[in-house]
């Protein structure tokens, strides 16, 4: 179904807003409703729950349409990183529109596969989609000031420090000191005719 829809920038792009990029080890593709459910497995460990401010009882919504459509794309784009050889979902990356035209990105990686570059591989692929397919010039990301793994992930994916709110409140009510990052590409160009990220 994807065949014949590859654009000149190497992105598989089809009607309805589905996109995919193949990296060395992953297929990074637009998330569907079932992927939203499956991604909850990526934060099953205590470390993820601490940084995200979730509890073990926190689950993804289970209400799902009869078919398996893409997740809604109004101000939000979700992507999954699926291992090319095994088909296992290893990473979740999302972009949410913020004021001023920037998109905030964040993500999770399966705890069994952290520290192996999968998160960076998935995030870089999504950033390339954002800059050179959707035409988003500025991506921002926030992380807790003591979360060294997230900081390394962002630096390794081409982000640099920027200004932002000094704290943020997590879903469980914990107030965290934050660091903010940005990834800029002044040459960002919209090539997608099917979906506007603006």
Convert the pLDDT of each residue in 15-65 to its tens digit. Answer: 778 899 999 999 999 998 888 778 888 888 888 888 988 765 554 444 555
Structure confidence at residue 17 (pLDDT): 80
According to CATH, the superfamily of the domain at 12-136 is Gcn5-related N-acetyltransferase (GNAT) (3.40.630.30)
Percent of the chain with pLDDT over 90: 61
Structure confidence at residue 197 (pLDDT): 59
Task: Please indicate, yes or no, whether the overall pTM of this predicted structure exceeds 0.85.
Answer: yes
Question: pLDDT of 103-118, one tens digit each?
Answer: 999 999 999 999 999 9
Confidence class for position 123, pLDDT limits 50, 70, 90: very high
Structure tokens at 154: 């962002």
Contact residues for 61 (Cβ-Cβ < 8 A; gap 6+): 36, 37
Which residues is 92 bridged to in the sheet? Answer: 80, 108
User: What is the DSSP secondary structure assignment for residue 136, as one 8-state letter?
Assistant: -
Q: Evaluate whether 95 touches 30 at the Cβ level (below 8 Å).
A: no
Long-range contacts of 105-109 (CB under 8 A, 24+ apart): 105/130, 105/139, 105/140, 105/141, 106/141, 106/142, 108/39, 108/42, 108/43, 108/48, 108/52, 109/42
**How far is it, in rounded angstroms, from Cα 187 to Cα 153?**
23
Domain boundaries, the chain: 12-136
């Amino acid at each position: 179904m994807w065949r014949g829809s590859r654009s000149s920038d190497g992105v598989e792009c089809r009607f309805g807003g589905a996109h995919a990029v193949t990296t060395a080890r992953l297929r990074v593709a637009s998330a569907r409703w079932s992927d939203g459910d499956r991604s909850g497995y990526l934060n099953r460990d205590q470390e993820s729950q601490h940084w995200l401010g979730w509890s073990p009882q926190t689950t993804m919504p289970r209400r799902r349409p009869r078919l398996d459509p893409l997740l809604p794309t109004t101000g939000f784009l979700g992507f999954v990183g699926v291992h090319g050889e095994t088909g296992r979902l290893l990473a979740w990356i999302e972009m949410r529109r913020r004021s001023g035209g920037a998109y905030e990105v964040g993500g999770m990686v399966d705890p069994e596969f952290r520290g192996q570059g999968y998160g960076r591989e998935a995030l870089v692929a999504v950033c390339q989609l954002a800059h050179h397919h959707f035409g988003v010039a500025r991506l921002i990301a926030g992380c807790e000031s003591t979360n060294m793994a997230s900081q390394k992930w962002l630096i390794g994916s081409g982000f640099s420090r920027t200004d932002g709110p000094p704290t943020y409140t997590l879903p469980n009510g914990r107030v965290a000191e934050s660091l903010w990052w940005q990834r800029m590409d002044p040459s960002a160009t919209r090539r997608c005719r099917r979906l506007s990220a603006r």
